[in-house]
Amino acid sequence: MTPLFAFGYLSPGAIILLLLVGVLLFGRRLPEIGKYLGKGIVEFKKGLKGLEDDLDMSTPVRHEPAALEAPRPPQRVTGAAPKFEDNAGGAITTPPKV
């Protein structure tokens, strides 16, 4: 008689035995367990796919330098310099006496 997991091989009899034990142990909850197992496998595959996308090094990311703007010629300023009021500097004035 060979062991169940001899060199990674399960005989058809061993598979049937495992299925019978599973039906006896889980019975009515077997569809629920299968559903949750399927959801878990899908989530695991999504996680692996996301990890592969994050670690994908086959296409290196190139950062092109920003295009330099051509220098502009000096501009002529039209108009006069701004005029300031005498009290614009925030000097304190005394209120008039009553």
Contacts for 30 with CB less than 8 Å, ≥ 6 apart: 22, 23
60-89 pLDDT, tens per residue?
A: 666 677 777 888 888 877 776 666 666 555
4-26 pLDDT, tens per residue?
A: 555 567 888 998 998 898 888 88
| pTM score of the predicted model | 0.37
> Would you kindly state where each structural domain of the chain is located, as residue ranges?
29-57
SS3 9: strand
